[in-house]
């Protein structure tokens, strides 16, 4: 079995669909998300973010965190491991701001991939 450390990053979207997928575990392997960093780049607006994973190869999503609040110009760190099996998905979705504007949020995951 080979293992490799990887990073995955994205600008977080507001649509809860495949465009919100930050990382998908390899089809012939597994992955451990060591940490997830969610950064709110906006100078005044708070950001609310949902973090979800699948446990069945990418079909059904379950919340790791729902409406997690990230302060303006700050970063929220989830530093407990999340284990992903073959084809499981890590998804991050932001809610629109109170004034209906788009949030300015980025997410980065530190990953150990085993194939």
pTM (2 d.p.): 0.95
Q: Is the pLDDT of residue 1 over 90?
A: no
57: left (phi over 0), alpha (psi -120 to 50) or beta: left
**CA 101 to CA 11: how far, in whole Å?**
15
Q: What is the pLDDT of residue 20?
A: 97
- The average pLDDT across 63-83 equals 97
What CATH code would you report for 3-114? 2.60.120.340
User: What's residue 105's pLDDT?
Assistant: 98
28 falls in which pLDDT band (50, 70, 90)? Answer: very high
Closest CA to 47 of 91, 95, 92, 113: 95
Task: State the Cα–Cα distance between residues 34 and 80, nearest whole angstrom.
Answer: 6
Give the number of C-alpha atoms closer than 13 A to the C-alpha of residue 19, restricted to the C-beta side.
7
């Amino acid at each position: 079995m080979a293992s490799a450390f990887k990073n995955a990053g994205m600008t977080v979207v507001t649509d809860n669909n495949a465009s919100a997928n930050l990382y998908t575990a390899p089809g012939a392997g597994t992955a451990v998300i060591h940490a997830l960093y969610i950064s709110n780049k906006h100078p005044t607006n708070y950001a609310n973010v949902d973090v979800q994973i699948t446990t069945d190869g990418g079909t059904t999503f379950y919340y790791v965190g729902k409406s997690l609040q990230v302060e303006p110009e700050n970063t929220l760190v989830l530093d407990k491991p999340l284990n992903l099996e073959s084809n499981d998905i890590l998804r991050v979705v932001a809610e629109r701001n109170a004034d209906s504007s788009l949030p300015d949020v980025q997410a980065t995951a530190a990953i150990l991939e085993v194939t």
